[in-house]
Amino acid sequence: AWGAPQQPVPAAPAPRRRTGGLVAAVLVASLVAGGIGGGIGYWAAERGDNGFSSTTVSSGQAPASFKRDPGTVAAVAAKALPSVVTIQAKSGGQDGEGGTGTGFVYDQEGHIVTNNHVVASAADGGTLSVTFSDGKTYDAEVVGRAEGYDVAVIKLKDAPKGLTPLPLGDSDKVAVGDSTIAIGAPFGLSNTVTTGIVSAKNRPVASGDGSGGSSSYMSALQTDASINPGNSGGPLLDASGAVIGINSAIQSTSGGFGQSQAGSIGLGFAIPVNQAKNVAEQLIKTGKPVYPVIGATVNMQEKGQGATIATQGSGGTASVTPGGPAAKAGLKAGDVITGFGDHPIDSGPTLISEIWTHKPGDSVKITYERDGKTATATVVLGERTGDS
């Protein structure tokens, strides 16, 4: 009965005070709702005694059909799902280790775009299979991989006719607060659709797959759409169904970027599609990635003061490549780069993330500090082919 006395809630242990508070709040809400319900019931009974025969209202007939308007999440998902695939990658070793990821149809020739870390285990003698939302499975092979960008292109060995590529949006025009839709296979659950918004832009992210391989760097789109291990390589769509990013990494409570079994806490990161498209086109054309470079080695550990040009490069090489872009711009060892184009720089990974949003040959204004004084220079980016 609503009027029955409630048993006192036992005091929660000190470490769980916040949980106890939540339970108390739920109980209070239940009591409030109960009081309202009891009041309504009492009012109806009293009115019934005065000649009202019933308080029951008949419901109308359900609509014969329900139409989902274009632009709804359901409509976007229904159109996109046939072009999103689940990728199974297995290594060529006896143990056959591998994993599950996601990709999407890039063209009618059967090229699929995904993350490098999704297919890396199958790159040398392993096997790849691709499963569409209708359950049909095809063998695939690696066309090209870019470890630094964490982008890969694979191709169906016997591509069916009638493939529908997903439309590509313009990630430069994305605004914080725009709606997002993520499609993938989190923890192997294929064809999973989640929604959210663009939480931030130009988020510098350095991620790894946990295997000890090279890190990848991105100036990422951040989203609160639920992304988990298995979503990697899948599309991040806008409200029109166009791809604006490739879901690639999450921040987990374990404290590191990358795919962690801890799962989503609402901090997901996607490679902007404008960058991914440039990389994919290069991989399809030559099989190798091309990276823009400044021709200088920067400290990758320090953070907060900018990107410091190291006093010595790796293996005893010069920190500033003679005749390279940085040298031509007048940069020297010990200079601290604090700005790249319109973006502030707080670390070496942030600088690399911003450099890789450009193309070789681009001219970019650099702000730097030397001996406590701020100066600027224009750097014409060089290029490096392949992963080193």
- Kindly list the catalytic residues: 117, 150, 232
Q: Phi-psi category of 210—alpha, beta or left, where left has phi over 0 and alpha has psi -120 to 50?
A: left
Torsion of CA 85, 278, 349, 381, to 10 degrees: 170
Could you tell me which residues are beta bridge partners of residue 194? 182
DSSP 62-89: PPS---PPTTSHHHHHHHHGGGEEEEEE
Contact between 368 and 387 (Cβ < 8 Å): no
Rounded Cα distance, 212 and 191, in Å: 30
Question: How many C-alpha atoms does 124 have within 13 Å on its Cβ side?
Answer: 1
Residue with tokens 């031509």: 328
Contact between 237 and 231 (Cβ < 8 Å): no
**Which residue from 335, 325, 319, 333 is spatially nearest to 369, judged by alpha carbons?**
335
Rounded Cα distance, 195 and 189, in Å: 16
Residue with tokens 């493939």: 163
Give 164: exposed, middle or buried? Use CB within 10 Å, 0-12, 13-18, 19+.
Answer: exposed
Beta-carbon contacts of residue 73 (< 8 Å; ≥ 6 apart): 181, 193, 195
CA triple 79-83-84, angle to 5 deg: 110
Question: How many C-alpha atoms does 321 have within 13 Å on its Cβ side?
Answer: 14
Torsion of CA 225, 231, 233, 237, to 10 degrees: -30
Contact between 230 and 102 (Cβ < 8 Å): yes
Q: Compute the residue count for the chain.
A: 388
